[in-house]
Structure formats: structure tokens, C-alpha cells
Structure 1
């Protein structure tokens, strides 16, 4: 099942349990945490994600070498005690580059998703809450963007803006916005006609207060799920763009760029590509497991 479809189904099911009783939200959150703790796959994903975040934060202190320091006496060395993951074609320590590369990959993934959430939730809420011509315009534009494969759309945006980290994050953010618009609109449509919303309107509450006080808080569950899943997609897409030379530029220790540089040495030094490839696989797997666990935990139809 695709990410938007899974989150959309969650958006339709959550309001009946979570949004109808705002006063009991604290107790419901405890139940969600209990479900999350009992899900072994989500805990594994959480540990994996936490490990990479820990590595990214402490990279300057735990890296044994400077990731950009070249040593022509140690070119293409195999893994050893002094260099656990070996060295690359310039004698740089791969372990140190992997540690620093986690900073880049996580930053691109998280910042890209934050951009998507901000614009996706804003437009999705406007479309779902106000409806009419505004909704038609927003959703038709969204349909046009969704007609393009996400990676190709990001590639086209980077091609226009030019390679670089900032442009890469913008591209990743833009190509994920349509999914958040659809999910947010679906969630808003499910809650905007609830009794407590009608009570707020009858008491003279303004649209802004209703949206920020009731609509968005009670539509947040599917957005959280999609965000976790989208971080994995963003990291994978960013690595793919860097692999093609459209993302982080040398000598930046970005995993996709490292993977691209290592393909020329697959026969003589396969560790140049294997190590960053495994790093990408593990962080993407971690976010996917965490996202699946959040989806199950936030679904009121699931049993503990």
C-alpha cells in the first residue's frame, strides 16, 4: 500500500475515536504510546533512527579522522583496525565520512519534509475547510504535480535551480507537498463537520481559531505517519540525486555521492560502494519501520 493511501485510510478512521473527544486526548496519547511500545518493529525502527541521529550529532567527536583529509599513502585500503571501513580513492577514512554523511542525509530528509509539511498542511487545510472554488484550484494543481513521478519531479526542479544542498532540500520539499495536501484535506474533511466544530461556530469562533484550535490538532495523526515515511523517501531520493551529480557536490561526504564515486572501483575496492549503500539502506529501513509502527499505534481500530 502506498504512503498517501495508507495515511488517507488512517485519516478517515482516526477522527471517529480521537477527534470526537478532545478532552480525553491525554489518555488517548498514553494508549498510543502503549501500542507503540508493544510493537517490536517500531521499536527497532526507533532505535535505528535514534542511532543515526546520535551519530550525526556527535560526528565531530566520534569520527577518528577528518572526513576531508586526503592521505595519498593510504589509497583504496581495505578495512583494517586503523580504518574499520577502509579508505577511498583519496585516502580519506570512510568511517569518518559515513559519520559526517549522516548529518547531511538526515538534514536533507528532515528539512525537506518540514518544507512539505508546512506548505502541504497549509494548502490542504484551506482546501478541506473552505471548499468551493479554492478547493478545486488547489486540488487540480495538486493533481498536475502528482501526475509526475516524485523522483523525476525532484530531478527536474534541481535541474532548473542547479545542483547544491539548498536546492536539493527545496526540490525534496516540493515533490512531497502534493501528498501532504491530499492527506491533510482528507483529514480535515473528516473532522470539520463534527459537533464540537459546529459548537465553536455557533459561539462565534473565527475561522482562524477553529482551524488552529480544533481542525489541525485533530487531523495531525495521519500527517505524523506520512512525515515519518516521507523522511525515508526524502533520504533515498536525495541520495539518488547526489548519485547522479545533482545533489551534494564533492568533496562533501554525502552517501549518494560516495556511492557514485565508488562505482568506478567495484572490482578493486567494493567497500567504497558497499558501506554507504548499507548506511542508506539502514536509515531508510529505520524510518519505514517507525512510520509503520506509528500508523498502527495511531489507528483506533488496532488492538494493543
Structure 2
């Protein structure tokens, strides 16, 4: 119920904002305060802030969500494979995760942006390069414990192939905890995307993005505080919405 209410709080203004053009400039409407015509005011180029926040929700949340999904899929596949086989593969995954713990995604993305230039492609690749490792370690540990369960051993004794066991037995056990980890990591990814946009390493102007909007608001805080308040409020609402999402429950088959 709480998640549904928060979803409406975010979806309604986003839907209204998407009706406007986030790139349309009007030099006769520069830095206008919130009004019925512009519910969140306008920026230094006369662009509607609500339209830009709404478009920024699609780009910022979309980038974080895409990086998260790809990272989870890669980590799930690699971790399940190493956990099933055991041996050196598991040791390598654990070592990589330990190394990645000292390399926050923000730093990796910052270095990648400085080397390859700003843009969504560079940002996504940098986030995925680090983001898949925690999922791999989780899947590795879970698979290593599950492969010795009696119901898995029974499937193997009956001649079931590895892929069938993974699809019918292991995957339903792995998806809930992987989904829970994804929910936990999503807010950090959203903040990382916004931080990189604030530093100018996101999509180039005039693309609407929450971090870039926060950076642009700094020069106008005294006369147009709504330029800071609007994207900041969007980030806060998004965080609360994610916190309200169900984590899912694992069902143990016993054994």
C-alpha cells in the first residue's frame, strides 16, 4: 500500500511533465517562479522545470535501472556457474569482489568518463563493470550451498541435466535474494548517476538529467531556489519509493 501511494506521488507529476517539452526555451520566461502555467517554475533559459524533471526521471532512473539489470544478470550467470563447479572459480569471484570493494562505482565511472569522455555509454559500462561483482558473489555462495541439497541431488540421480536443474530448481531459489540485493543497490546507483551528471560526466547538454540540473541550479540559488528544490525532491521521492518496494521472500524446499 505504501509503495502504491509513493508510486502515484512520483508517477503523476512525471506523467504531467512528460506532456511538456523539456528542451523548449523561452527567453521571455526566464527564471519564473512556480505558477499554474509552470508548476515548478522555469530555468535560466526559460525551460519548464517540471518537464525537465519528468524527462530526467526517465533518463536517470532508466540508466540506473538498466545498469542494475545487466549487472544482476551477468553476476547471476557467473556466480551460478562458479558456485556450481566450485574450486578456483569461486575463489576468483570472491577475490574480484574484494578488489571491487575498494573501487566505488562513482570513482570507476569518474575515471572512465575522464578517459572516454562523458556520455551514457561510458557511464553504463563503468557502472556495470563494477556492479555485477556483488551479484556474482551472492549467486556463487547460494549456488554452492544449494547444489548439495537433497532435492538437487535427487534430480541429478534421476538423470536431469545441469541446465534443467538450474532452470527448474536453482533459479527459483536464486531470484528472490538477487532481487533483494538489486533493490538495496538501486538507490546508490541512482545517486551515482546523479553525482556524475553533477560533475558533467553524464549526457551532454541540453539533455535533462537530475544531476546536471542540480549543477545548473548553483548559479541561481539566490533568485531561483526552485531549480535546486525540484530535482532534489525528485531524488528524495525516488529513494523513498525504492525503500518501500517489497524485497521478496525465499522459499526453502528443505533437505
TM-score, scaled to structure 1: 0.76
Distance 2:10 2:217 in 1: 22
Q: Which runs of 4+ in 1 moved over 4 A?
A: 53-56
CA contact (8 A) 2:26 2:47 kept: yes
Distance 1:157 1:215 in 2: 36
CA contact (8 A) 2:31 2:44 kept: yes
Alignment partner, residue 245 of structure 1: 200
Distance 1:130 1:148 in 2: 28
Structure 1 residues 183-262: aligned runs within 5 Å:
183-262=138-217
2:219 to 264, 278, 281: 264
1:171 to 120, 126, 135: 126
What's the CA shift string for 1:251-299, capped at 9, x where partnerless? 0111111111111111111111111011011112211221xx42xx526
Identify unmatched segments of 5+ residues in structure 1.
1-42
Cα separation, partners in 2 of 1:55 and 1:212, compared to 1, 3 Å: farther
Give the structure, 1 or 2, with the largest relative contact order (CA under 8 Å, sep 6 or more): 1
CA shift for structure 1 position 53 = 5.4
Matched residue SS, 2:148: coil
Moved more, 198-207 or 93-102: 198-207
CA shift for structure 1 position 55 = 5.9
Alignment partner, residue 45 of structure 1: 3
Alignment partner, residue 22 of structure 2: 67
CA shift for structure 1 position 153 = 2.3
Structure 1 residues 16-35: aligned runs within 5 Å:
none
Alignment partner, residue 49 of structure 2: 94
TM-score, scaled to structure 2: 0.90
- RMSD of aligned Cα (Å): 2.1
Aligned residues: 252
CA contact (8 A) 1:55 1:102 kept: no
CA shift for structure 1 position 50 = 5.8
